[in-house]
């Protein structure tokens, strides 16, 4: 964990690459939209011609089903690529701003200039897209970048390394495999911006390190994201949508519905529909969920034990397993599980679950919902399932969350016009499309004097000047 324990060769290599990139940053800053689009197209070409290799790497890492790789990793990257390529020229144009009366005689505009040397640290759960999507934004904004993938998905990390070395020269983009010690050594370097995706605990470490150089940060973190199902919700639809969002990637999705807040009048039909949705998706032929090739696995033994412990501890404290509950440590398999009768003292209701377990909390009055949500950290995602606009407004107005989807789940991640990200404990800063481009850019304000003067308010502060300053206050 300590950079001092890092191999001296690795540490020297990081510093040398950083210096190389720093020297190159000003050349990258001068690249045109066409230059950057060339780079993005080269990357796109690599991604599209390596679909199978990407699928194989993630299957080897945690049996991620190939269609899920295509959807949440390759499609996610390719649709973002297309969107950036289409819009980059426009985003890079200086943006004129209006001139207020007090500024008559000037013109103002905003230039997006690259932040410079950026660091991107990625997690393991979507190990390809959560590394490549920020990289696209970094390149679009004209930065040089150093990358650190997660050590928990080594096959994908090795493939990403090959991708970077085949597509970019090291003075533009360089990737370093390794664990937290490599991340910490990177965090010692004076980057201009750090884009981190991972847990809130490590997010704090990253922000502390960034403070040493006053580097700006984007923190894409996690936490407990609730799904609310009110008494007016379309039960079958909501059950299918929540089951899909929950069990995709085996529940290891930062924006997965973490727990359910369901109106007591619809709890029974909802849970019936939810159980049916699980069977439909993962056991359509009755051969058992464990043999389904549509169901991923927990990434490693440590996380398997952690999630199993969450179920066991909840049951010991009085919760009941309504659905699933079976585990098999050979293969890190945990069945899609639903827990009833959960209470706030259970760990499953305190920490981000990050696994295929859905605790169910019932409510009678919608104020109970907002009290429950507001008692915890602000979530990354909050899902509302309702057909009553007043209820929807109430939940939106009385809570705060990074993003909200109404009557579906997960859509916010792939919507290029929606700022994706958290708030406080669930994150700082936003990504997707233009928001990602902005995150990696310094919005440099430029005001040009075309005619006129402010000389009349310069010292000495005679009575006349004082009156003019008061007049300015009054009229502008």
> Closer to ligand NAD at the Cβ: 129 or 370?
129
**Distance of alpha carbon 313 from alpha carbon 307, whole angstroms:** 10
Select the residue interacting with ligand NAD from 40, 80, 119, 124 (CB under 6 A): 124
Residues 19-78 that bind ligand NAD (CB under 6 A): none
CB of 184 to ligand NAD, least distance (A): 5
233: its two tokens: 């919700």
Least Å from the CB of residue 303 to ligand NAD:
8
The nearer residue to ligand NAD, 28 or 58, going by C-beta atoms, is 58
Asked if 21 and 144 touch (Cβ cutoff 8 Å), the reply is: yes
How many whole angstroms separate alpha carbon 109 and alpha carbon 96?
A: 4
Binding mask 405-424 for ligand NAD (x = CB under 6 A): -----------------x--
Report the residue from 251, 427, 429, 436 that binds ligand NAD according to the rule CB under 6 A. Answer: 427
CB of 190 to ligand NAD, least distance (A): 16
Work out how close the CB of 323 gets to ligand NAD at its nearest, in angstroms, rounded to a whole number: 23
Q: Segment 147-186, which members bind ligand NAD (CB under 6 A)?
A: 148, 150-151, 179-180, 183-184
Mask: binding to ligand NAD, 197-216, rule CB under 6 A, as x and -? xxx--x--x-----------
The DSSP H or E segment spanning 67 is helix 66-69
Closest CA to 176 of 167, 166, 192, 165: 165
The span from the CA of 263 to the CA of 267, in Å, is 6
Phi and psi angles of residue 292, each rounded to the nearest 5 degrees, phi first: -65, 135
Q: Is 97 in the site for ligand NAD (CB under 6 A)?
A: no
- Residue 180 main-chain phi, psi, to 5 deg: -60, -30
Least Å distance, CB 428 to ligand NAD, is 10
Residue matched to tokens 């990407």: 54
Question: Minimum distance between the CB of residue 183 and ligand NAD, rounded to whole angstroms?
Answer: 3
Of residues 252 through 271, those in contact with ligand NAD by CB under 6 A are: 254
- CA atoms of 83 and 71, how far apart (whole Å): 16
- Told to check if 310 binds ligand NAD by CB under 6 A, we report no
Q: Whole-angstrom Cα distance, residue 12 to residue 1?
A: 17
Q: Single out the segment in contact with ligand NAD by CB under 6 A; choices: 14-22, 120-128, 267-275, 362-370.
A: 120-128
Q: Which of 57, 221, 346, 428 binds ligand NAD (CB under 6 A)?
A: 221
Which residue has the CB atom at the shortest distance from ligand NAD? Answer: 222
Q: Which of 28, 37, 88, 130 binds ligand NAD (CB under 6 A)?
A: 130
* Residue pair 328/290 in contact by the 8 Å Cβ criterion: yes
- Residues 170, 20 contacting (CB under 8 angstroms): yes
The window from 104-112, 121-129, 329-337, 383-391 that contacts ligand NAD (CB under 6 A) reads 121-129
Q: What minimum distance in Å lies between the beta carbon of 194 and ligand NAD?
A: 10
CB-nearer residue toward ligand NAD: 303 or 366 = 303
Instruction: Give the range of 124-132, 259-267, 334-342, 383-391 binding ligand NAD by CB under 6 A.
Output: 124-132
**Residue 137 contacts by C-beta under 8 Å, 6 or more apart in sequence?**
84, 431, 436, 437, 439, 440
Give the catalytic positions in this structure. 220
- Whether omega before 242 lies within 30 degrees of 0, making that bond cis, reads no
Please identify which residue in 116, 134, 222, 251 interacts with ligand NAD, judged by CB under 6 A. Answer: 222
Find the part of the chain contacting ligand NAD (CB under 6 A) among 28-36, 115-123, 266-274, 460-468.
115-123
How far from the centroid of its chain's Cα atoms is residue 438's Cα? 15
CA atoms within 13 A on the CB side of 382: 24
The residue (of 178 and 325) whose beta carbon lies closer to ligand NAD is: 178
DSSP state of 73: I
Q: Which is nearer to ligand NAD, 386 or 412 (CB)?
A: 412
Cβ 295 vs Cβ 247: under 8 Å:
yes
Interface stretch with ligand NAD, choices 144-152, 260-268, 287-295, 438-446 (CB under 6 A)? 144-152
Q: Please state the separation of Cα 78 from the chain's center in Å.
A: 17
Which residues, including other chains, have CB under 8 Å from residue 363's CB and lie 6 or more apart?
Answer: 261, 262, 263, 264, 369, 372
| Residue 226 is a binding residue for ligand NAD (CB under 6 A) | no
Other residues' Cβ atoms within 10 Å of the Cβ of residue 422: 28
Per-residue interface string for the shown chain with ligand NAD, residues 272-291, x marking contact by CB under 6 A: --------------------
Q: Are 319 and 341 in contact (CB under 8 A)?
A: yes
For residue 313, give the nearest of 279, 360, 340, 347 by alpha carbon: 347
Run of H or E residues at 458: none
Binding site for ligand NAD (CB under 6 A): 1, 121-125, 130, 148, 150-151, 179-180, 183-184, 197-199, 202, 205, 220-222, 254, 352, 354, 380, 422, 427
């Amino acid at each position: 964990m300590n950079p001092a324990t890092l191999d001296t060769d690795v540490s020297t290599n990081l510093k040398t690459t950083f210096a190389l990139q720093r020297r190159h940053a000003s050349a990258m800053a001068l690249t045109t939209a066409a230059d950057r689009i060339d780079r993005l197209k080269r990357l796109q070409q690599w991604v599209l011609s390596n679909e199978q290799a990407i699928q194989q790497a993630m299957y080897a890492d945690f049996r991620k089903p190939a269609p899920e790789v295509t959807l949440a990793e390759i499609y996610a990257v390719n649709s973002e690529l297309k969107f950036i390529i289409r819009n980059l020229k426009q985003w890079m144009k200086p943006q004129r701003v209006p001139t207020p009366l007090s500024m008559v005689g000037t013109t103002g505009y905003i230039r997006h200039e690259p932040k410079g040397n950026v660091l991107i640290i990625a997690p393991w759960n979507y190990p390809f897209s959560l590394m490549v999507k920020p990289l696209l934004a970094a390149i679009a904004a004209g930065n040089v970048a150093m990358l650190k993938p997660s050590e928990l998905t080594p096959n994908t990390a090795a493939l990403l390394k090959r991708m970077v070395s085949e597509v970019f020269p090291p003075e533009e983009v360089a990737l370093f495999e390794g664990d937290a010690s490599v991340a910490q050594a990177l965090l010692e370097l004076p980057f201009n911006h750090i884009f981190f995706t991972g847990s809130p605990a490590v997010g704090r470490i990253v922000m502390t390190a960034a403070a040493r150089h006053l580097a700006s940060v984007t923190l894409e973190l996690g936490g407990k994201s609730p799904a609310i199902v009110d008494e007016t919700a379309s039960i079958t639809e909501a059950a299918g949508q929540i089951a899909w969002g929950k069990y995709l990637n085996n529940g290891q999705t930062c924006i997965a519905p973490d727990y359910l807040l369901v109106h007591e009048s619809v709890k029974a039909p909802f849970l019936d529909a939810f159980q049916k949705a699980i069977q439909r998706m993962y056991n359509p032929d009755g051969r058992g969920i464990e043999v389904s090739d549509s169901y991923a696995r927990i990434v490693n033994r440590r996380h398997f034990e952690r999630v199993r412990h969450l179920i066991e501890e909840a049951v010991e404290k009085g919760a009941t397993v309504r659905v699933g509950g079976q585990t098999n440590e050979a293969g890190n398999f945990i069945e899609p599980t639903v827990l009833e009768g959960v209470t706030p003292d259970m760990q499953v209701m305190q920490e981000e679950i990050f696994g295929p377990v859905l605790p169910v909390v019932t409510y009678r009055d919608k104020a109970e919902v907002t009290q429950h949500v507001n008692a915890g950290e602000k979530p990354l995602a909050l899902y509302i399932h309702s057909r009553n606009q007043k209820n929807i407004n109430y939940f939106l107005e009385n809570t705060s969350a990074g993003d909200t989807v109404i009557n579906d789940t997960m859509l916010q991640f792939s919507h290029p016009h929606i700022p994706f990200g958290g708030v406080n404990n669930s994150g700082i800063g936003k990504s997707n499309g233009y928001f990602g481009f902005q995150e990696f850019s310094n919005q440099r304000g430029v005001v040009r004097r075309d005619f006129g003067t402010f000389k009349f308010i310069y010292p000495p502060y005679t009575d006349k000047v004082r009156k003019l300053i008061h007049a300015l206050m009054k009229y502008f």
